[in-house]
Amino acid sequence: MQKTILITGGAGFIGSHVIRLFINKYPDYKIVNLDALTYAGNLENLEDISSKDNYRFEKGDITDAELVNTLFKKYAFDGVIHLAAESHVDRSISDPGTFIKTNILGTVNLLNAARNFWKDNFENKRFYHISTDEVYGSLGNEGFFSETTAYDPRSPYSASKASSDHLVRAYLHTYKLPVVITNCSNNYGPNQFPEKLIPLAINNIKHNKPIPIYGKGENIRDWLYVIDHANAVDLVFHKGKNGETYNIGGNNERTNIALIHKLCEIADRKLGRKPGVSSKLITFVKDRAGHDLRYAIDSSKIQNELGWKPSVTFDEGIEKTIEWYLQNEGWMNRIIDGSYEKYYENQYEKR
Ligand code: NAD
Ligand code: TYD
């Protein structure tokens, strides 16, 4: 069946993997990528598919309601997969306003456009909102987030994502908009902007720079390979039930310090260094304000109802990831421009 799908934030980390999957798997679909190309957006992530007939790129901001409406009129979308967001917790601590604007107002613009354009005839339509496990807050040593866990966001980033999730559900209950939401744990893999822990650490290891670990490195995250997230998005978009929420996770919890030791061990081997050399770069720095202790996901709903499960183990995924960053030095170097250096200096060196 032919479909025209709007994917927002497709030039970013996860969005680019979702676009690649859809472009290659569904040649009959037309995929329109709406992305403002903020510091995190990079069309180089999509170079291999950008000349395909079923792909269109629209540079634009989801906070611009007029533009969003114009695109709905121009393309008559059947579905929306909404990933565009400000996504980095540390930036949300220093600049919450941008997060409120993009993550909340941007989402409302998309919801309004979908509702107005589809004119309450929602057959075969779908609005899919991509969210994060961070909306559930922070866990102690025990337990997991499930789809019924009460929201308890604790950073400006997670609060803005929680607000957008609530608005998406409000449009379901009030207007019957056919929505679906997924909340995913921390992703890792190729093309992630090096402000996030894993690509930042790999890049610093490579250049013999200190690897900054917040606090004592005891915070725990659940890591999922980005292509497994993209596979889940495909499944939920096509098979998920309207009005439902699905949690997606890797069942792969690590403390930050254990994760970094693992990266160092693999990097030593790949870079021909003596074992233990890279881990000497580990440097404990001032903790993140309000740093959530632990995230862990119970993903049994999507596994049991839709048959999703991760396709790679963490050992396989992290090996491929490190290899990709080491092989794609040009990609990294082109991202590390003046504005990245300035961000880095403010975040780490001026403390
Ligand atoms: P990212 O920061 O790598 O990419 C975000 C993309 O959105 C960029 O291409 C950027 O240019 C675009 N964008 C930002 N503001 C925009 C605006 N106003 N208008 C149009 N485009 C805009 O983010 P990511 O890590 O790929 O995350 C994608 C989505 O997945 C986000 O909604 C995020 O909350 C969610 N998520 C991320 C993770 C993770 O571990 N990275 C985990 C769970 C959920
Ligand atoms: P991050 O990749 O920013 O993802 P999130 O905050 O959304 O989970 O951070 C992952 C973990 O690593 C988190 O506990 C914060 C920590 N961290 C560091 O210790 N040092 C760093 O330089 C960064 C960016 C993160």
Q: Which ligand is nearest to the CA of 254?
A: 2
| CATH number of the domain bearing residue 29 | 3.40.50.720
26 and 145, same domain (yes or no)? yes
57 belongs to a structural domain:
yes
184 lines ligand 2 (CB under 6 A): no
pLDDT along the chain (351 residues), means of 10: 95 98 97 98 97 97 98 98 98 98 98 94 96 97 97 98 98 97 98 98 97 98 98 98 98 97 98 97 97 98 98 97 96 92 88 59
Q: Tell me the C-alpha distance between 306 and 68, whole Å.
A: 31
The active-site residue, picked from 134, 147, 195, 292, is 134
Closest residue by Cα to atom 32, ligand 1, is 83
Cα dihedral 135→213→218→335 (10° resolution):
40
Ligand lying nearest the CA atom of residue 110: 1
**Distance from Cα 261 to the centre of ligand 1, integer Å:** 27
Q: What is the pLDDT of residue 26?
A: 97
292 CA: nearest ligand 2 atom? 14
Q: Which pLDDT tens digit goes with each residue over 113-125? A: 999 999 878 999 9
The reply to whether 133 belongs to the active site is: yes
Centroid of ligand 1 to alpha carbon of 108 (angstroms):
16
pLDDT at 120: 74
The range of the structural domain enclosing residue 324 comes to 197-220+255-290+314-346
Same-domain status, 215 and 110: no
**Inter-axis angle of helices 65-75 and 107-118, nearest 10:** 40
Q: Residue 305 domain-assigned? A: no
Q: Does residue 77 form part of some domain? A: yes
From the list 86, 90, 133, 222, the catalytic residue is: 133
How many angstroms separate the CA atoms of 95 and 100, rounded? 10
Q: Is-catalytic flag, 157?
A: yes
Q: Do 263 and 282 share a structural domain? A: yes
- Give the model's pLDDT for residue 337: 86
Clarify whether 61 is annotated catalytic. Answer: no
Give the residue among 152, 160, 10 at the shortest CA–CA distance from 95.
160
Position 280 scores a pLDDT of 98
pTM of the model: 0.98
Tell me the CA–centroid distance for residue 332 and ligand 1, in Å: 18
